[in-house]
Amino acid sequence: MKNILLIIFVLSGICSLHAQTLINCKVDTTGGYISVFDTVKYNPICNYEVLTKAHLDNHSANNRDTISFFPHKIDVLYKKSGYSRGHCLPFEDLAYSYVSAKASMNEKRNLAPQPQNENIGTKLACEDTCRLLANQQGSIQVFGGTWGTYGSMKGINIPEAYWTMIIDSDNNAICWWLPTHGGKIGYHDLGACRITQESLEAKLGFEPPLVIFKQQIR
């Protein structure tokens, strides 16, 4: 938690003219993670957390059932349409406290429509890999967001893809590009979604660390 607070404090004072610009976005640093959210598409564009073994251990030590799932009014809409509420940063990562769990589970700055099969497929495999690395290394940095437009649902953009970037304890980047339609989306298909950092940034049109730490948002 100290790492998150330090990052938020530093972030609040940084604005670089050399950073890439994202339009129609706002930044939110509450709830244990940082979010850059598109206010027109209603999609998270680039979210960030420090995922630690201590946080995961704290979640495991507290029975998951003691933290409610915060029912959401559009759950029924999603399920009827074949979509789930896709979380850029998973609830399990942030369930070490009630405040962060609620912020990750229910707030639109961490949510977008996601096909149900992908939600329990490549996206879940990606999240499990992040947690495995955090448990092994003690702490990793996780960036995640959405990209593109496949369609819309009640005014909410359906992304063409989700993406995740890990910076591990040795400062190595591990990246995945997770298409929401037209590709393999099963749990064991995650390996086919691995891409280089350069390829990810070319697809996105921005570098996630620059957007988070040296933002120029308008």
Query: Tens of pLDDT along 164-211?
Result: 999 999 999 999 999 999 888 999 999 999 999 999 999 999 999 999
Tell me the whole-structure pTM to 2 decimals. 0.84
pLDDT value of residue 7: 41
pLDDT score recorded for residue 69? 52
Where exactly are the structural domains of the chain? Answer: 2-217
* Domain 2-217: CATH superfamily, name plus number: Extracellular Endonuclease, subunit A (3.40.570.10)
Say which DSSP state 199 is in: H
Q: Taking each helix axis as running N to C, give the angle between helix 53-61 and helix 122-137, from 0 to 180 degrees, rounded to the nearest 10.
A: 110
pLDDT digits (tens, 9 = 90+) for 25-68: 999 998 899 999 999 999 999 999 999 999 998 876 654 554 55
Which pLDDT score, from 0 to 100, does residue 183 have? 80
Cα dist. 19→15, 44, 213 in Å?
8, 19, 9
The catalytic residue positions are 87
pLDDT at 5 over 90: no
pLDDT beyond 50 at 136: yes
What average pLDDT does the segment 76-88 reach? Answer: 78
User: For the chain, what is the mean pLDDT?
Assistant: 83
**pLDDT confidence bin for 74, thresholds 50/70/90:** low
> What local confidence, expressed as pLDDT, does residue 60 receive?
65
Q: Is the pLDDT of residue 153 over 80?
A: yes
List residues forming the annotated binding site.
119
Position 102 scores a pLDDT of: 80
**Stretch 141-159: mean pLDDT:** 94
Tokens, residue 78:
């999603």
Binding site per annotation, positions for Mg(2+): 119
Comparing CA positions, the residue from 153, 161, 55 lying closest to residue 104 is: 55
144, 179, 199 from 20: Cα distances, Å: 17, 24, 17
**Which residues contact residue 154 at a Cβ distance below 8 angstroms, ignoring those fewer than 6 apart?**
74, 77
C-alpha span between 28 and 1 (Å, rounded): 16
Per-residue pLDDT averaged across 130-145, rounded? 97
